[in-house]
Amino acid sequence: MVVNTVRLAVALLLLTLTHLAIFGQIIPAQAAFHNWLWLGISAIIGLVIGNSLLFKAFVVMGTRLSMLLMSLVPIIGAITAFFLFKETLSIYEILASLITIGGISWVIMEKGEGGGGVRLRGKPLIFGLLLCIGGAAGQAFGLIASRIGMEGNLPALSANLIRMLTATILMWTMNLLSGRVVSTIRKLRDVKATAYLFGGAMFGPFIGVWLSLIAISHAKIGIASTLMSVTPILLLPLSHWIYKEEISIRAVIGTFIAVAGVAILFLL
Protein backbone atom coordinates (compact mmCIF):
# COMPACT_ATOMS: atom_id res chain seq x y z
CA MET A 1 0.00 0.00 0.00
CA VAL A 2 2.82 2.38 0.89
CA VAL A 3 4.70 1.66 -2.33
CA ASN A 4 1.62 2.06 -4.52
CA THR A 5 0.57 5.30 -2.77
CA VAL A 6 3.98 6.97 -2.85
CA ARG A 7 4.92 5.88 -6.37
CA LEU A 8 1.73 7.44 -7.74
CA ALA A 9 2.58 10.74 -6.01
CA VAL A 10 6.14 10.66 -7.38
CA ALA A 11 4.88 9.85 -10.89
CA LEU A 12 2.37 12.70 -10.65
CA LEU A 13 5.18 15.14 -9.74
CA LEU A 14 7.33 13.97 -12.66
CA LEU A 15 4.39 14.13 -15.08
CA THR A 16 3.42 17.63 -13.92
CA LEU A 17 6.96 18.97 -14.42
CA THR A 18 7.23 17.29 -17.84
CA HIS A 19 3.81 18.58 -18.92
CA LEU A 20 4.77 22.09 -17.83
CA ALA A 21 8.06 21.88 -19.76
CA ILE A 22 6.45 20.57 -22.97
CA PHE A 23 3.04 22.27 -23.05
CA GLY A 24 3.57 25.20 -20.64
CA GLN A 25 0.65 24.00 -18.50
CA ILE A 26 0.47 22.26 -15.14
CA ILE A 27 -3.00 20.87 -15.91
CA PRO A 28 -4.12 19.95 -19.46
CA ALA A 29 -6.40 22.90 -20.29
CA GLN A 30 -7.37 21.40 -23.65
CA ALA A 31 -8.93 18.32 -22.03
CA ALA A 32 -12.73 18.26 -22.22
CA PHE A 33 -15.12 16.83 -19.60
CA HIS A 34 -15.34 13.68 -21.72
CA ASN A 35 -11.56 13.20 -21.43
CA TRP A 36 -11.50 13.78 -17.67
CA LEU A 37 -14.45 11.45 -17.10
CA TRP A 38 -13.11 8.42 -18.99
CA LEU A 39 -9.49 8.87 -17.97
CA GLY A 40 -10.65 9.19 -14.37
CA ILE A 41 -12.62 5.96 -14.75
CA SER A 42 -9.54 4.36 -16.32
CA ALA A 43 -7.41 5.40 -13.32
CA ILE A 44 -9.89 3.97 -10.83
CA ILE A 45 -10.34 0.69 -12.73
CA GLY A 46 -6.71 0.13 -13.74
CA LEU A 47 -4.37 1.94 -11.34
CA VAL A 48 -6.39 1.66 -8.12
CA ILE A 49 -8.65 -1.41 -8.30
CA GLY A 50 -6.72 -3.48 -10.87
CA ASN A 51 -3.31 -2.97 -9.28
CA SER A 52 -4.66 -3.55 -5.77
CA LEU A 53 -6.22 -6.87 -6.81
CA LEU A 54 -3.01 -7.88 -8.60
CA PHE A 55 -0.80 -7.09 -5.58
CA LYS A 56 -3.15 -9.08 -3.33
CA ALA A 57 -3.09 -11.95 -5.85
CA PHE A 58 0.70 -12.05 -5.58
CA VAL A 59 0.31 -12.74 -1.86
CA VAL A 60 -2.49 -15.31 -2.17
CA MET A 61 -1.58 -17.15 -5.38
CA GLY A 62 2.13 -16.50 -5.80
CA THR A 63 3.78 -14.45 -8.52
CA ARG A 64 4.09 -17.12 -11.22
CA LEU A 65 0.47 -18.23 -11.26
CA SER A 66 -0.73 -14.63 -10.89
CA MET A 67 1.35 -13.49 -13.87
CA LEU A 68 0.12 -16.49 -15.87
CA LEU A 69 -3.50 -15.49 -15.34
CA MET A 70 -2.57 -11.87 -16.13
CA SER A 71 -1.92 -13.19 -19.65
CA LEU A 72 -5.71 -12.92 -19.98
CA VAL A 73 -5.31 -9.12 -20.37
CA PRO A 74 -4.72 -9.21 -24.17
CA ILE A 75 -7.61 -11.62 -24.64
CA ILE A 76 -10.04 -9.56 -22.55
CA GLY A 77 -8.79 -6.38 -24.21
CA ALA A 78 -9.13 -7.75 -27.74
CA ILE A 79 -12.68 -9.06 -27.14
CA THR A 80 -13.81 -5.78 -25.55
CA ALA A 81 -12.18 -3.71 -28.30
CA PHE A 82 -14.03 -5.78 -30.90
CA PHE A 83 -17.42 -4.85 -29.43
CA LEU A 84 -16.58 -1.21 -28.61
CA PHE A 85 -14.29 -0.13 -31.45
CA LYS A 86 -15.01 -2.85 -34.07
CA GLU A 87 -11.31 -3.77 -33.96
CA THR A 88 -10.73 -7.12 -35.62
CA LEU A 89 -7.56 -9.21 -35.57
CA SER A 90 -6.55 -11.30 -38.56
CA ILE A 91 -5.99 -15.03 -38.12
CA TYR A 92 -2.23 -14.38 -38.31
CA GLU A 93 -2.39 -11.69 -35.61
CA ILE A 94 -4.42 -14.01 -33.38
CA LEU A 95 -1.92 -16.84 -33.91
CA ALA A 96 1.04 -14.53 -33.22
CA SER A 97 -0.60 -13.28 -30.03
CA LEU A 98 -1.30 -16.86 -28.88
CA ILE A 99 2.31 -17.84 -29.62
CA THR A 100 3.57 -14.91 -27.54
CA ILE A 101 1.22 -15.66 -24.63
CA GLY A 102 2.13 -19.35 -24.87
CA GLY A 103 5.84 -18.59 -24.62
CA ILE A 104 5.29 -16.31 -21.62
CA SER A 105 3.11 -18.94 -19.92
CA TRP A 106 5.77 -21.61 -20.52
CA VAL A 107 8.36 -19.47 -18.72
CA ILE A 108 6.11 -18.42 -15.84
CA MET A 109 4.83 -21.91 -15.07
CA GLU A 110 8.32 -23.31 -14.53
CA LYS A 111 8.51 -24.69 -11.01
CA GLY A 112 10.94 -23.14 -8.59
CA GLU A 113 11.30 -20.30 -6.13
CA GLY A 114 9.55 -16.99 -6.48
CA GLY A 115 5.94 -17.93 -6.04
CA GLY A 116 5.78 -21.14 -8.05
CA GLY A 117 5.05 -23.48 -5.19
CA VAL A 118 1.79 -22.07 -3.85
CA ARG A 119 -0.86 -24.79 -3.59
CA LEU A 120 -4.44 -23.85 -2.82
CA ARG A 121 -7.73 -25.71 -2.70
CA GLY A 122 -11.36 -24.90 -2.12
CA LYS A 123 -12.36 -21.35 -1.18
CA PRO A 124 -8.76 -19.96 -1.00
CA LEU A 125 -8.18 -21.17 -4.57
CA ILE A 126 -11.44 -19.59 -5.79
CA PHE A 127 -10.57 -16.36 -3.96
CA GLY A 128 -7.11 -16.30 -5.53
CA LEU A 129 -8.47 -16.97 -9.02
CA LEU A 130 -11.04 -14.19 -8.63
CA LEU A 131 -8.26 -11.80 -7.56
CA CYS A 132 -6.19 -12.68 -10.63
CA ILE A 133 -9.11 -12.44 -13.04
CA GLY A 134 -10.20 -9.17 -11.41
CA GLY A 135 -6.69 -7.78 -11.76
CA ALA A 136 -6.51 -8.82 -15.42
CA ALA A 137 -9.94 -7.36 -16.14
CA GLY A 138 -8.95 -4.14 -14.36
CA GLN A 139 -5.85 -3.78 -16.54
CA ALA A 140 -7.77 -4.55 -19.74
CA PHE A 141 -10.75 -2.29 -19.02
CA GLY A 142 -8.34 0.42 -17.85
CA LEU A 143 -6.74 0.39 -21.30
CA ILE A 144 -10.15 0.47 -23.00
CA ALA A 145 -11.30 3.44 -20.90
CA SER A 146 -8.01 5.20 -21.62
CA ARG A 147 -8.54 4.78 -25.36
CA ILE A 148 -12.00 6.35 -25.07
CA GLY A 149 -10.62 9.11 -22.83
CA MET A 150 -7.98 10.07 -25.38
CA GLU A 151 -10.51 10.72 -28.14
CA GLY A 152 -10.17 14.19 -29.59
CA ASN A 153 -6.40 13.87 -30.10
CA LEU A 154 -5.55 14.37 -26.44
CA PRO A 155 -1.77 13.83 -26.05
CA ALA A 156 -0.73 10.66 -24.22
CA LEU A 157 1.26 12.76 -21.72
CA SER A 158 -1.83 14.79 -20.81
CA ALA A 159 -3.90 11.61 -20.55
CA ASN A 160 -1.35 10.01 -18.23
CA LEU A 161 -1.26 13.14 -16.07
CA ILE A 162 -5.05 13.04 -15.65
CA ARG A 163 -4.96 9.33 -14.76
CA MET A 164 -2.18 9.77 -12.20
CA LEU A 165 -3.85 12.83 -10.68
CA THR A 166 -7.10 10.92 -10.20
CA ALA A 167 -5.41 7.82 -8.79
CA THR A 168 -3.14 9.82 -6.47
CA ILE A 169 -6.01 11.85 -5.01
CA LEU A 170 -8.05 8.70 -4.45
CA MET A 171 -5.19 6.71 -2.86
CA TRP A 172 -4.12 9.53 -0.52
CA THR A 173 -7.76 10.19 0.43
CA MET A 174 -8.07 6.52 1.39
CA ASN A 175 -4.87 6.84 3.42
CA LEU A 176 -6.22 9.95 5.13
CA LEU A 177 -9.53 8.32 6.03
CA SER A 178 -7.76 5.23 7.38
CA GLY A 179 -5.26 7.29 9.37
CA ARG A 180 -2.22 5.95 7.51
CA VAL A 181 -0.77 9.21 6.14
CA VAL A 182 1.77 9.70 8.94
CA SER A 183 2.91 6.06 8.90
CA THR A 184 3.24 6.19 5.11
CA ILE A 185 5.48 9.26 5.27
CA ARG A 186 7.56 7.71 8.05
CA LYS A 187 8.34 4.74 5.81
CA LEU A 188 10.29 7.13 3.58
CA ARG A 189 13.00 7.35 6.22
CA ASP A 190 14.44 4.20 4.67
CA VAL A 191 16.71 6.00 2.21
CA LYS A 192 17.64 2.92 0.14
CA ALA A 193 14.05 1.75 -0.21
CA THR A 194 12.90 5.28 -1.08
CA ALA A 195 15.57 5.57 -3.78
CA TYR A 196 14.37 2.30 -5.36
CA LEU A 197 10.78 3.50 -5.04
CA PHE A 198 11.58 6.73 -6.92
CA GLY A 199 13.31 4.70 -9.64
CA GLY A 200 10.33 2.38 -9.89
CA ALA A 201 7.95 5.34 -10.11
CA MET A 202 9.98 6.90 -12.92
CA PHE A 203 10.18 3.74 -15.06
CA GLY A 204 6.66 2.48 -14.18
CA PRO A 205 3.74 4.90 -13.88
CA PHE A 206 5.71 7.80 -15.40
CA ILE A 207 7.54 6.46 -18.49
CA GLY A 208 5.95 2.99 -18.77
CA VAL A 209 2.31 4.04 -18.57
CA TRP A 210 2.99 7.09 -20.77
CA LEU A 211 4.39 4.83 -23.49
CA SER A 212 1.52 2.34 -23.07
CA LEU A 213 -0.98 5.12 -23.78
CA ILE A 214 0.96 6.08 -26.90
CA ALA A 215 0.85 2.41 -27.91
CA ILE A 216 -2.93 2.00 -27.60
CA SER A 217 -3.49 5.24 -29.51
CA HIS A 218 -1.52 3.89 -32.50
CA ALA A 219 -2.13 0.13 -32.38
CA LYS A 220 -4.98 -2.28 -31.80
CA ILE A 221 -5.72 -2.96 -28.13
CA GLY A 222 -5.17 -6.71 -28.52
CA ILE A 223 -1.75 -6.31 -30.15
CA ALA A 224 -0.56 -3.51 -27.86
CA SER A 225 -1.55 -5.39 -24.70
CA THR A 226 0.12 -8.57 -26.03
CA LEU A 227 3.40 -6.70 -26.53
CA MET A 228 3.06 -5.14 -23.07
CA SER A 229 2.63 -8.58 -21.50
CA VAL A 230 6.23 -9.65 -22.22
CA THR A 231 7.40 -8.26 -18.85
CA PRO A 232 8.26 -11.72 -17.40
CA ILE A 233 10.50 -12.34 -20.42
CA LEU A 234 12.32 -9.02 -19.98
CA LEU A 235 12.87 -9.86 -16.31
CA LEU A 236 14.90 -13.00 -17.10
CA PRO A 237 18.24 -11.33 -17.98
CA LEU A 238 17.78 -8.77 -15.19
CA SER A 239 17.20 -11.55 -12.65
CA HIS A 240 20.34 -13.28 -13.90
CA TRP A 241 22.57 -10.20 -13.81
CA ILE A 242 21.24 -8.61 -10.62
CA TYR A 243 20.20 -11.59 -8.46
CA LYS A 244 22.50 -14.20 -10.06
CA GLU A 245 19.53 -16.49 -10.76
CA GLU A 246 20.09 -19.41 -13.10
CA ILE A 247 18.22 -19.33 -16.42
CA SER A 248 16.96 -22.79 -17.37
CA ILE A 249 16.69 -24.32 -20.83
CA ARG A 250 12.90 -24.14 -20.46
CA ALA A 251 13.07 -20.39 -19.82
CA VAL A 252 15.29 -19.91 -22.88
CA ILE A 253 12.93 -21.93 -25.10
CA GLY A 254 9.90 -20.04 -23.76
CA THR A 255 11.67 -16.75 -24.40
CA PHE A 256 12.42 -17.68 -28.01
CA ILE A 257 8.77 -18.68 -28.53
CA ALA A 258 7.51 -15.39 -27.07
CA VAL A 259 10.01 -13.32 -29.06
CA ALA A 260 9.02 -15.20 -32.22
CA GLY A 261 5.39 -14.26 -31.59
CA VAL A 262 6.36 -10.62 -31.04
CA ALA A 263 8.46 -10.66 -34.23
CA ILE A 264 5.51 -11.98 -36.23
CA LEU A 265 3.31 -9.19 -34.86
CA PHE A 266 5.88 -6.59 -35.94
CA LEU A 267 6.30 -8.16 -39.38
CA LEU A 268 2.51 -8.11 -39.85
Q: What is the pLDDT of residue 260?
A: 85
Q: What is the pLDDT of residue 87?
A: 84
72 vs 76: CA distance, rounded Å: 6
What pTM was computed for the model? 0.80
79 vs 76: CA distance, rounded Å: 5
Q: What is the pLDDT of residue 193?
A: 86
Residues of the chain where predicted confidence (pLDDT) is lower than 50: 113-117
Q: What is the pLDDT of residue 117?
A: 44
135 vs 56: CA distance, rounded Å: 9
Q: Which amino acid is at 247?
A: I
Q: What is the pLDDT of residue 155?
A: 95
Asked whether the beta carbons of 34 and 152 are under 8 A apart, the reply is yes
For 223-257, what is each residue's pLDDT tens digit?
Answer: 888 888 787 777 778 777 887 777 788 878 887 88
For 192-232, what is each residue's pLDDT tens digit?
Answer: 888 988 998 999 899 999 999 999 998 888 888 888 878 77
